Structure 1
Amino acid sequence: MTIENMFKELVGYVIQEKGSDLYLLPSGKGYRIMIISNQGLKRLKQIETDLGLRLIRYIKFCSGMDISETRRPQLSRMNYQIGGANYNCRISSVGNFLQQESMVIRFLYQICNLEIKFKDAKPIYKLIESVKETSGLILLSGRTGVGKTSTLYYAIQQLKATRLVLSIEDPVEIEDNEILQLQINTLADMNYQELLNLALRHHPEILIIGEIRDAKTAQIAVEAGMSGHLVLSTVHADSCLGVWYRMRELGIDDWALRHVLKGVGYQTMLTVNAEKKAHLKYLNRQELLDEKEFNEN
C-alpha cells in the first residue's frame, strides 16, 4: 500500500467514526496510530518507525509544512475531499526530547456534514424550546467526546438565520458559515476572557462558549446571560444537578444561578443496535429548581 492510500484509508476511517483527532505518536521502535471519537481514545495500529516517519512527511508535504523541521512545533491546515464532501483538518507536529516527531490531526466537520442521532427526541426538543429564550444561560455537561458541542449547534439551527450567533471555542470543532466563530489563541493573548469581552461588543443575540473552565469565564458568561444575551456553554459535571454545584465552585452564587439558568443537560453516548446515539437528560429552569429543592430537603 502506498503512503497516499494509507493516509486516505486512515482519514476515511476517522470520518466514518466521526472522530475528532488522529494521533501519530512515537512508541518504542515504532509509531502508534490512535483516534479520538465518541467512544473515547482508541488505538488503531502500531507501525514501524520508518513507515511512521514517511507518513508524517507525506502529511507535512500535503499541508505545506517544512519537512526538514522536526523539532520545533509546526501548525498548518489542509482541505481533504472524500466521498464527495470536503473536510478541513488542522495539523500540529512537534518533536519530543528524543527528537522523535509526533503529529495530531484535528478534523473540523462542516455543519452540513454534522450528523447526530438521539436515543430520545423529547430532551432535545426541550433544549430547542429553551434556546428560543432571548437571554439567560444554558449549560450542557458530560465527558469529553460525547457530542456536547454538536448538540448545541443542532439546537440553534432553526434560529441562526434570524439571530446573530457568535461562538468562542478552543478549538473550533464544527465549521458553520452562518456563525461568527472565534478561536482561542494563547500565543496571541486571545484567551476566553479577551475574546468574550470582544464578542460582547458585537452584541450577539446568542453566544456559544466552548467550555467554562474557570471563575472569570463563568462570571462573564453569567453577566452576559443576565444582560440580554442567550449564552450556551459546557462545563465539567457528572449530572444535571452537578452543573449547578460546578458553577458554585466557580464562584457563582445561588441567587445568580436561579435567575440566569434557563436549562441544564447531561449527555452520554450509547450504542443502540450497533448504532451510536446521544442520550441527553435535560432539565428546564423549573425542573432544575424542583430537583435542587428535592435533593436539599
Structure 2
Amino acid sequence: MRRMKPEQYVKRILDFACQRDVSDIFFLPQKDKMIIKMREIDGIHDYQLLEADFAVGVINYLKFTSDMDISEHRRPQAGARNFNFRDQVVNLRLSSLGNYSNKESLVIRLIYPLRQLTQNELNGQQWQDIMNQRGLILFSGPTGSGKTTAMYQLTKKYSQHKIVLAIEDPVEVIEPDFLQIQVNKRAQMSYADLIRTSLRHRPDILILGEIRDEESSEMAIRAALSGHLVISTVHARNKFAVIGRMMELGISQRELHSVLNCVIYQRLILQTTGIVKAYRDVLLEENLSQAIQIPQSNYSDWQTMLQIDYKKGLLDEQTYQKYKTG
C-alpha cells in the first residue's frame, strides 16, 4: 500500500465503488488507522483499513482535486470533482470534517448519470395525464432512494416539445435537454431567488431539487398556481407525512387542494433475485384529496405492498422487517 501513490489508490477505490454502484464512501478515523466504508443498496460495508499517514495523503489528494483547502483539517468543508468510469462521468460530492482530536473524516457521495432502468420507470397513460396537468408533484424518501432519478426519468419521458428548467443544490444529474441551474448562496442565488427568476424564462416544467423551508415551499406553490407543472422532493417518512410536512412549512389545506396532483413515496430495495426495485407508494385523486382533508400518518398501504412480494419470496424476512416502516 505504501508503494502506491495516493492518486493511484483513489482511482482504484473509485473504480471499485462505481463497479458496485456504491452511493457513499466514508473515510473514518480510528485511533491510529483510517477505516473505509461503503454504502451499497443492502447497507454499509467495510472496505479497507489504512495506515493513518497514507490515509492523510489520500484525503489530501482528494481535497486538492476538489478545490478544498488541504491545510484545514477541523472545520467543515465541501468540494466537488468528476470521475470518468467506462466512458461515463460520475459526479463526486465531498464533505470533510475534523473530530474532537482534529483527526479528519471525509465522505464522498457518488452521483451517477441518468440510467434507463425500464423496470423502475413510471409508465402508462395515468402518468402521461399527470404530466400534462399544471400543479405540483412531490417525491419523498430518504437519501439514496432514487427520487432525483425518478423525477428526471418521468420528466424526460413525458416532456417532448416542452421547456424544462431544473434548480438544484447541487446539480446531481446532467441532462442536456434541460436548462439546469445550481443554487449559489455566495452569489445570492438561493432557491427562492432562482425560482423567481426562472418563472420569467417561462418553462413548462420546473424541477426543484428539494423543498426544504417555508420560503422554498411558498415559491413552489406560487409557481404551481401560476400555471406551471412543478416537480420536487420533500423529506417525510411516508406518503401521508408529505402532506403534514408541507403544512408544517406553512402551506394551507386550501393551497394543497388547489395545486397538489400527486405524492410518491419511494425506496430502492434489493430483492432476493438480485434485482433492485423501486417500491413506490402513491397518493392520487380521491385518496389524495381525502389525505389533505384529514391529515394522517400510517404505513398500511406501504406494508401491504411489501407483504405481497414477501409472500412471493421476492423479499426475505430481514429485508421486509428493515423496510416495513418506510
For the aligned pair, the TM-score class normalised by the smaller chain equals: 0.7 to 0.9
- Please list the CA deviations of residues 176-226 of structure 1 after superposition, one character each: whole Å capped at 9, or x if unmatched: 122222222333333222222222222221111111111221111111101
Give yes or no for the alignment of 1:55 onto 2:40: no
Contact 2:42–2:270 under 8 Å retained in 1? no
Instruction: State the Cα distance separating 1:168 from its structure 2 match.
Output: 1.5
Q: 1:252 to 1:11 in 2, by over 3 A?
A: same
Contact 1:70–1:101 under 8 Å retained in 2? yes
One of 89, 94, 103 as aligned partner of 2:106: 103
Higher RCO (C-alpha under 8 Å, 6+ residues apart): 1
Instruction: State the Cα distance separating 1:291 from its structure 2 match.
Output: 5.4
Q: Which residue of 1 is the match for residue 203 of structure 2? A: 204
One of 4, 8, 17 as aligned partner of 2:11: 8
Q: Which residue of 2 is the match for residue 215 of structure 1? A: 214
- Please list the CA deviations of residues 27-77 of structure 1 after superposition, one character each: whole Å capped at 9, or x if unmatched: 322223233454555543332202211212333455566655656666554
> Which structure 2 residue ranges, 5 or more long, are not aligned?
297-326
Whole-angstrom distance in 1 between the partners of 2:240 and 2:181:
30
Q: Which residue of 2 is the match for residue 133 of structure 1? A: 132
Whole-angstrom distance in 1 between the partners of 2:161 and 2:135:
18
Counterpart residue identity of residue 286, structure 2: Q
Please give the secondary structure, in 2, of the residue aligned with 1:217. helix
Whole-angstrom distance in 1 between the partners of 2:42 and 2:183:
26
Q: Which residue of 2 is the match for residue 254 of structure 1? A: 253
Q: How does 1:111-150 map to 2 (within 5 A)?
A: 111=114, 114-116=115-117, 118=119, 124-125=123-124, 128-150=127-149
Instruction: State the Cα distance separating 1:132 from its structure 2 match.
Output: 2.3
Counterpart residue identity of residue 276, structure 1: V
Contact 1:267–1:280 under 8 Å retained in 2? yes
Whole-angstrom distance in 2 between the partners of 1:176 and 1:201:
21
Q: 1:150 to 1:37 in 2, by over 3 A?
A: farther
Contact 2:171–2:180 under 8 Å retained in 1? yes
Give yes or no for the alignment of 1:19 onto 2:22: yes
TM-score of the superposition, structure 1-length normalised? 0.83
TM-score of the superposition, structure 2-length normalised? 0.77
Q: Which residue of 2 is the match for residue 245 of structure 1? A: 244
Q: Which residue of 2 is the match for residue 78 of structure 1? A: 81
State the identity as a percent.
37
- Please list the CA deviations of residues 138-177 of structure 1 after superposition, one character each: whole Å capped at 9, or x if unmatched: 0011122111111111101124442111112222221112
Please give the secondary structure, in 2, of the residue aligned with 1:176. coil
Counterpart residue identity of residue 81, structure 2: M
Please give the secondary structure, in 2, of the residue aligned with 1:110. coil
Q: Which residue of 2 is the match for residue 226 of structure 1? A: 225
Whole-angstrom distance in 2 between the partners of 1:137 and 1:222:
7
Give yes or no for the alignment of 1:170 onto 2:173: no
Whole-angstrom distance in 2 between the partners of 1:65 and 1:242:
38
Please give the secondary structure, in 2, of the residue aligned with 1:267. strand
Contact 1:130–1:263 under 8 Å retained in 2? no
Q: 1:125 to 1:32 in 2, by over 3 A?
A: farther
One of 18, 33, 37 as aligned partner of 1:34: 37
> Which structure 1 residue ranges, 5 or more long, are not aligned?
none
Please give the secondary structure, in 2, of the residue aligned with 1:241. helix
Whole-angstrom distance in 1 between the partners of 2:187 and 2:126:
35
Q: Which residue of 1 is the match for residue 150 of structure 2? A: 151
